[in-house]
Structure 1
Amino acid sequence: MTAAVFGHDGPWTEEEYLSLDETSQRVELFDGSLHVTPAPTPRHQRISRKLGNILEPAAEQAGLELLEAVNVRLRPGRIPIPDLVITDPVNLDEPMIEADEVHLVCEIISPSNASTDKVLKMHYYAAAGIGWYLLVEQKTGALRLYRRRGRHYTEHSATKRGEALRLLEPVRATIRPEDLVP
């Protein structure tokens, strides 16, 4: 993949992006530019798995899908890879999920990438019409749930250790920070 990335001239198209080889790094497409980050840490992946284990039965009960680290097309040329998404039932063999199929997107905040999750992606997800955005702090497991209002998110709830986030939409689930981070 390295030769393909560094030998490329000009903005990236979706077709060029999708033709890249698989890699251990996360490669996202934002308006013709690639955003490359290292593979997530074991702590990040542990949180993702534990959160997925909580949300998956709730998604299935609601007739929805829980997916991890998939391409989500927010609009042409804008394809992030969220940590977790809850979607309508989708074709599991397609390379991308469309934003209008996504009900909730979750990002586990990496210290080296916090501004991308808290600002850039938050703005992009809201503009794409995704109803709910959940942010998880890696160190503490603290949860911040945002609900879309117009083209922006407003904070719906903040949950710290010793408290519980009770999701009622788009699925019913209870998440405790200490269940995600020991």
Structure 2
Amino acid sequence: MTVAVFDHEGPWTEEEYLALGETQQRVELFDGSLHVTPAPTPRHQNISGELRSALRGPCREAGLHVLEGVNVRLRPGRIPIPDLVITGPIDFDEVNVEARDVLLVCEIISPSNAATDKVLKMHYYAAAGIEWYLLVEQDNGTLHLYRRQGRHYREISVTKAGERLELTEPVRAMIRPADLLP
């Protein structure tokens, strides 16, 4: 991938981005530019795995899917890789999950990437019509749940250590921040 990235001139197309194939880094496409981040930390991965585990049963019962680290096509040329998504029925052999099939998107805030998760991706996810956005703070597991209101999100709840988040949509689930931390 390194040679292909550094030898590339001009904006990236979606086709060029997809031709990079699987990589060790997270490579996202935002309007012709690549956003490359290193692999997540073990803490980040632990939170993601515990959250997926907490949502797996409720999603199955509701006929939904919970997936980690998949391409989500928000629109042509805009493909982030959220930490976790809840989807309705999808084609598991497609390289991208379409935004219209995503019911909830989750980002675990990395200290080096906080602005991207709190501002850029939040804006892009809302503009793409994804109804629910869950932000997780890595250091203490605090959960920030947002619901789309027009082309923006409105914070619905903040759940801290010692408390529990009771989701009623898009699935019924209970999540305790303390259970997410290593």
- Fold in common (TM above 0.5): yes
Gap runs ≥5 in structure 1: none
Match status 1:173 vs 2:173: yes
Aligned to 2:46: 46
Query: 1:33-112 to 2 correspondence within 5 Å?
Result: 33-112=33-112
| Cα distance in structure 1, aligned partners of 2:181 and 2:49 | 11
The root-mean-square deviation of aligned C-alpha atoms, in Å, is 0.6
Runs (4 or more) in structure 1 with deviation over 6 Å come to none
CA apart distance, 1:21: 3.3
Tell me the secondary structure at the aligned position of residue 148 of structure 1.
strand
Query: Equivalent pairs: percent with the same residue?
Result: 74
Aligned to 2:130: 130
Gap runs ≥5 in structure 2: none
CA apart distance, 1:181: 1.0
Match status 1:115 vs 2:103: no
| Cα distance in structure 2, aligned partners of 1:118 and 1:160 | 18
Which digits, 9 at most, give the CA deviation of each residue in 1:87-129, with x for residues without a partner?
Answer: 0111111000000000000000000000000000000000000
Q: What amino acid is the match of 1:52?
A: R
Tell me the secondary structure at the aligned position of residue 103 of structure 1.
strand
| Cα distance in structure 2, aligned partners of 1:26 and 1:34 | 10
TM-score w.r.t. structure 1 length?
Answer: 0.99
TM-score w.r.t. structure 2 length?
Answer: 0.99
| Cα distance in structure 2, aligned partners of 1:153 and 1:146 | 6
Work out the number of aligned pairs and report it: 182
| Cα distance in structure 1, aligned partners of 2:25 and 2:86 | 23
Q: What amino acid is the match of 2:150?
A: G
